[in-house]
Amino acid sequence: MALERFVNEASSEWMKCGGPDGDIVISSRIRIARNLQSYPFPMLATNQQSQEVLDQAANVVNSGDLQEIGDFTLIPLSDLNEVEKKVFVEKHLISPALANESRNGAVMLSGNESISIMINEEDHLRIQCLRAGFQVQEAWETANQIDDIFETHLGYAFDENRGYLTSCPTNVGTGIRASVMIHLPALVVTQQINRILSAITQVGLAVRGLYGEGSEAIGNLFQISNQITLGQSEDEIIENLHSVVRQIIEHERAARAKLLSESGHRLADRVYRSYGILSHAIIMDSKEAAQRLSDVRLGLDLGILKNGSAQALNELLVMTQPGFLQQYAGKKLTPEERDIRRAELIRRQLAQQSS
Q: Which residues are annotated as a binding site for ATP?
A: 27-31, 92, 126, 177-181, 208-213
Cβ neighbours for 199, distance < 8 A, ≥ 6 positions apart: none
Helix 322-329 vs helix 335-354: crossing angle, to nearest 10: 80
Sheet of 221-226, strand order: 72-76, 106-110, 115-119, 125-132, 25-34, 176-183, 221-226, 205-208
Q: How would you write 132-176 as a 3-class SS string? A: ECCCHHHHHHHHHHHHHHHHHHCCECEECCCEECCCCHHHCECCE
Mode of pairing for the β-strands spanning 25-34 and 125-132: antiparallel
Q: Please answer whether residues 183 and 251 qualify as being in contact, where contact means their C-beta atoms are separated by less than 8 angstroms.
A: no
Cβ neighbours for 284, distance < 8 A, ≥ 6 positions apart: 277, 278, 292, 339, 342, 343, 346
Q: What is the largest CA-CA distance in the chain?
A: 64
Q: How would you write 202-242 as a 3-class SS string? A: CCCEEEEECCECCCCCCCCEEEEEECCCCCCCHHHHHHHHH
Q: How far apart are CA 204 and CA 227, in angstroms?
A: 6
Q: How far apart are CA 121 and CA 104, in angstroms?
A: 9
Annotated binding site: 27-31, 92, 126, 177-181, 208-213
Partners of residue 34 on adjacent β-strands:
125
